[in-house]
């Protein structure tokens, strides 16, 4: 058996990954280390909370002692998802981004090194490469040119991992993925926000001219990629993941209107995001060549399934919209103490 510390397992991709790895690999124990920010939701993992190979520790990656203690429970690898992840929030206040994404990563790296861990995967993003014009793709060799406080903090973390690999022979690997969609995504990001607004006949705010392009990948394909990197990736290497599915925000919005059978009058053009990156597009041939990974979920199907998931989980969204989900952990705790 191998014990993996998954950080940020209560968020969108982390919770999908915990589900994925528990099902995929019977030789893995998962310790989920998450401090439950606004984006962490225990309801995302309610179905595995009593799983014999799963354990939750509420802890903050910026707490050196807490991280050391969690690793001390028999952890052999770290797969690091925990981060502040929303660009718009980073524009309002970069403080939590620098703290969690950069300082948190440094603390994890030091603790992993001190404990002589076998492997460390840094889950990063294509946003560290900056923005593309109408042509071209991000490869693993594209120079880092982050444009937002969020992407700058993720790039800083990636560079720390690189520095530890080169200086200490640290067993670190980095993944950089494009925009994910799927179940359990917090309804502040484009797809879940628009689905949940449209389901309530509320308008959807399209930034600027709506022509910014994102490369969409189903979260399950991203999780499969992170798992392959953890199992088979070469230490010190970076692996890009993307869905080969470029859409303008307007195209995507029209597809959602069609799936949900809603009128175009629900589109509301709003002021653009400051510094808004125009286009992301990932060249993921390295992961295909070296890891035998491919994006498998067709976008049309994945998007329909995602809409259906939100339609079937209205209580999950309502609990977030009302803030009720924030009381979930406290309530569980009080019930246990009784």
Cβ 190 to ligand DAU, closest distance in Å?
3
Pairing of strands 2-7, 28-34: parallel
Nearer to ligand DAU, 206 or 291 (CB): 206
Among 4, 35, 128, 256, binds ligand NAD (CB under 6 A): 35
30-69: buried (b, 16+ CB within 10 Å) or exposed (e) per residue? bbbbbbbbebbbbbbbeebeeeebbbbbebbbbeeebbee
Angstrom distance (rounded) from CA 213 to CA 151: 17
Cβ 194 to ligand DAU, closest distance in Å?
7
Q: How many CB atoms lie within 10 A of CB 139?
A: 14
What tokens appear for 181 in the block?
């969609």
- Print the binding letters for residues 189-218 with ligand NAD: x by CB under 6 A, - otherwise: ------------------------------
Q: Does 280 bind ligand DAU (CB under 6 A)?
A: yes
Number of residues near ligand DAU (by CB under 6 A): 19
Nearer to ligand DAU, 170 or 222 (CB): 222
Among 5, 6, 18, 34, binds ligand NAD (CB under 6 A): 34
Q: Does 249 bind ligand DAU (CB under 6 A)?
A: yes
Q: Does 189 bind ligand DAU (CB under 6 A)?
A: yes
Cβ 126 to ligand NAD, closest distance in Å?
7
Cβ 116 to ligand NAD, closest distance in Å?
22
Q: Which residue is nearest to ligand NAD (CB)?
A: 11
Tell me the window of 31-39, 45-53, 291-299, 322-330 that interacts with ligand NAD (CB under 6 A): 31-39
Among 21, 28, 36, 257, binds ligand NAD (CB under 6 A): 36
Q: Does 44 bind ligand DAU (CB under 6 A)?
A: no
Residues forming beta bridges with residue 26, ordered by sequence position: none
Q: Does 186 bind ligand NAD (CB under 6 A)?
A: yes
- Print the binding letters for residues 123-152 with ligand DAU: x by CB under 6 A, - otherwise: --xxx-------------------------
Q: Does 293 bind ligand NAD (CB under 6 A)?
A: no
Among 77, 179, 240, 306, binds ligand DAU (CB under 6 A): 179
Which amino acids are annotated catalytic?
126-127, 150
Q: Within positions 313 to 332, which residues make up the interface with ligand NAD, using CB under 6 A?
A: none
Cβ 225 to ligand NAD, closest distance in Å?
10
Sheet holding 213-218, edge to edge: 179-181, 213-218, 246-248
- Where do contacts with ligand NAD occur on this chain (CB under 6 A)? 7-8, 10-14, 34-37, 39-40, 60-62, 81-85, 100, 104, 123, 125, 154, 177, 179-180, 186
């Amino acid at each position: 058996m191998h014990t993996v510390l998954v950080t940020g397992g209560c968020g969108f991709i982390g919770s999908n990954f915990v589900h994925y790895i528990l099902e995929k690999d019977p030789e893995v124990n998962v310790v989920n280390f998450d401090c439950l920010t606004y984006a962490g939701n225990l309801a995302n993992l309610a179905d595995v909370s009593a799983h014999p190979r799963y354990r939750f520790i509420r802890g903050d990656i910026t707490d050196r002692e807490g991280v050391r203690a969690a690793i001390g429970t028999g952890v052999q690898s770290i797969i690091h998802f925990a981060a502040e992840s929303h660009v718009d929030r980073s524009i309002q206040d970069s403080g939590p981004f620098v703290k969690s994404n950069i300082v948190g990563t440094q603390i994890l790296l030091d603790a992993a090194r001190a404990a002589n861990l076998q492997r460390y995967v840094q889950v990063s993003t294509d946003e560290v490469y900056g923005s593309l014009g109408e042509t071209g793709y991000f490869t693993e060799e594209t120079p880092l040119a982050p444009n937002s406080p969020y992407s700058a903090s993720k790039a800083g973390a990636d560079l720390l991992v690189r520095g530890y690999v080169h200086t200490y022979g640290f067993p670190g690997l980095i993944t950089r993925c494009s925009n994910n969609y799927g179940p359990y995504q917090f309804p502040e990001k484009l797809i879940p926000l628009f689905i949940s607004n449209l389901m309530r006949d509320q308008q959807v705010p399209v930034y600027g001219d709506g022509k910014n392009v994102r490369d969409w990948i189903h979260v399950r394909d991203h999780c499969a990629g992170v798992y392959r990197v953890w199992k088979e990736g070469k230490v010190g290497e970076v692996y890009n993941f993307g869905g080969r599915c470029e859409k303008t925000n307007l195209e995507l919005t029209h597809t959602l209107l069609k799936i949900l059978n809603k009128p175009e009058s629900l589109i509301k053009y709003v002021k653009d995001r400051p510094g808004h990156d125009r286009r992301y597009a990932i060249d993921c041939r390295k992961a295909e060549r070296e890891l035998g990974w491919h994006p498998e979920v067709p976008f049309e199907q994945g998007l329909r399934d995602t809409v259906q998931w939100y339609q079937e989980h209205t209580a999950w969204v309502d609990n977030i919209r009302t803030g009720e989900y924030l009381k979930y952990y406290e309530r569980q705790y009080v019930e246990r103490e009784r």
